[in-house]
């Protein structure tokens, strides 16, 4: 991209938030800048994707102040709720929607709320000149919202190189019990309760579960999960670490024996690639993009929400170290083929070129 190329990334709230979607946005911006692009943040505060009137009023002011012809890359968490705000500026500005996963697919919504979000996002996406989806599954989901497939480009997350251990197993291989790692925000969609249900039936096995992820998104759910493991048979076997620094998180990956993710839906699941990069075998739900993100031979895929199936899969993984080592080797091989952030930024540049060349 020429150094003069410029765009803004419209982001809902704090760009430093520690979730996969925000990390994608941060690393994309960093990589685009490293390639010579001028990229500015446009922060919109509010309870996205269900903002109040004050948040919408502020969004109107911020968007109206953008200069004519500006290329605006809008994170879907906000863009899906901004149809009426964007409409007056659909021709004046060059909108590129960045969709991590459609809003109506969030777990825990009742039918009316899901339908309302679906309708709002579908209406908003009509104002985008192009859509970037973070996975093939998300691209298909976006197409179901009425976006022509030839106006959707998949740009999967890039990946950072890490030091990969020589074999699967650290603490477990040394006799300290199998160390399970789950990296996921404590929300209903991540289905920690399913994981706990499954592990409750495997108490005779020697394992410890480490859960990394914010408890702030759904405090009531987080409190219930913490209470469930504060006493009883799971006490001392499940550890809630909250959000961790990058260094502390890398240490958790390095000390794990098995990566687990029980999500009910994922638009991509960046933590899976992080687990692959650390050479970890994986047990994950066959949910959304995870069916394609987890490589064949690197672990097991389990029907989402099925605690019995999860219990059986975990028992299989825990009981057979040789099997985990084969999965770990497949994970390492798959990690070598993952694209870098620079490669994905180059792909994103081509989309920006296309959007900026389109007639209003």
Q: What is the DSSP string of 221-237?
A: HHHHHHHHHHSGGGTTT
Contacts of 107 (CB under 8 A, 6+ apart): 187, 188, 189, 191, 264, 265
Domain hosting 140: range is 6-158+340-357
97 located within any domain: yes
Backbone angles phi, psi at 283, to 5 degrees: -120, 120
So what's the pLDDT on residue 5? 75
180 located within any domain: yes
Q: To which residue do tokens 């691209």 refer?
A: 139
Same domain, 97 and 184: no
- Contact (Cβ atoms closer than 8 angstroms) between residue 310 and residue 331: no
56 located within any domain: yes
So what's the pLDDT on residue 334? 95
Same domain, 181 and 325: yes
So what's the pLDDT on residue 83? 94
289 located within any domain: yes
310 located within any domain: yes
Torsion of CA 161, 163, 166, 170, to 10 degrees: -120
Same domain, 251 and 149: no
Same domain, 84 and 191: no
Sheet holding 152-154, edge to edge: 38-44, 6-12, 71-75, 94-99, 130-133, 152-154
So what's the pLDDT on residue 18? 81
Same domain, 210 and 100: no
Identify the CATH number of the domain in which residue 194 sits.
3.40.50.2000
The tens-digit pLDDT sequence of the chain (360 residues) is 444 578 999 999 998 888 888 999 999 999 999 999 999 999 999 999 999 999 999 999 999 999 999 999 999 999 999 999 999 999 999 999 999 999 999 888 899 999 999 999 999 999 999 999 999 999 999 999 999 999 999 999 999 888 655 544 443 444 469 999 999 999 999 999 999 999 999 999 999 999 999 999 899 999 999 999 999 999 999 999 999 998 999 999 999 999 999 999 999 999 999 999 999 999 999 999 999 999 989 999 999 999 999 999 999 999 999 999 999 999 999 999 999 999 999 999 999 999 988 545
End-to-end CA distance of the chain: 22
199 located within any domain: yes
Distance CA 284, CA 301 (A): 5
Question: Domain tally for the chain?
Answer: 2
Same domain, 213 and 95: no
Same domain, 211 and 322: yes
Distance CA 226, CA 212 (A): 13
So what's the pLDDT on residue 358? 59
345 located within any domain: yes
So what's the pLDDT on residue 276? 96
Same domain, 193 and 228: yes
Same domain, 246 and 290: yes
Same domain, 180 and 289: yes
163 located within any domain: no
Kindly state the DSSP code that residue 287 receives in the 8-state scheme.
Answer: -
Same domain, 119 and 207: no
Same domain, 300 and 188: yes
Question: How does DSSP assign 147-169, residue by residue?
Answer: --GGGEEE----B---PPPSSS-
């Amino acid at each position: 991209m020429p150094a003069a190329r410029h765009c803004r990334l419209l982001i809902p709230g704090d760009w430093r938030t520690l979730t996969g979607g925000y990390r994608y946005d941060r690393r994309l911006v960093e990589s685009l800048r490293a390639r010579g692009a001028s990229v500015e943040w446009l922060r919109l505060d509010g309870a996205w994707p269900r903002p109040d009137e004050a948040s919408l009023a502020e969004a109107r002011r911020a968007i109206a102040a953008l200069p004519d012809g500006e290329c605006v890359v809008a994170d879907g968490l906000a863009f899906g709720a901004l149809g009426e705000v964007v409409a007056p500026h659909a021709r004046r500005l060059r909108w590129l929607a960045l969709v991590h996963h459609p809003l109506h697919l969030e777990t825990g919504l009742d039918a009316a709320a899901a339908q309302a979000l679906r309708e709002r996002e579908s209406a908003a996406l009509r104002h985008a000149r192009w859509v970037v989806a973070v996975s093939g599954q998300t691209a298909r989901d976006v197409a179901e919202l009425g976006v022509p497939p030839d106006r959707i480009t998949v740009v999967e997350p890039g990946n950072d190189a890490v030091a990969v251990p020589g074999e699967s197993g650290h603490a477990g291989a040394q006799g300290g019990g199998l160390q399970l790692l789950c990296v996921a925000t404590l929300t209903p969609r991540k289905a920690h309760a399913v994981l706990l249900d499954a592990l409750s039936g495997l108490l005779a096995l020697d394992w410890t579960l480490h859960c990394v992820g914010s408890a702030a998104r759904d405090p009531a759910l987080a409190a219930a999960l913490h209470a469930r493991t504060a006493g009883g048979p799971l006490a001392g076997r499940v550890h809630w670490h909250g959000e961790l620094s990058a260094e502390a998180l890398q240490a958790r990956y390095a000390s794990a024996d098995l990566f687990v993710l029980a999500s009910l839906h994922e638009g991509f699941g960046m933590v899976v690639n992080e687990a692959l990069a650390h050479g970890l075998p994986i047990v994950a739900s066959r949910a959304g993009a995870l069916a394609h993100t987890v490589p064949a031979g690197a672990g097991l895929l389990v029907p989402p929400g099925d605690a019995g199936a999860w219990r059986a899969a975990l028992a299989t993984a825990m009981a057979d170290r040789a099997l985990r080592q084969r999965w770990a080797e497949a994970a390492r091989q798959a990690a070598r083929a993952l694209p870098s952030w620079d490669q994905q930024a180059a792909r994103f540049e081509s989309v920006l070129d296309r959007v900026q060349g389109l007639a209003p």
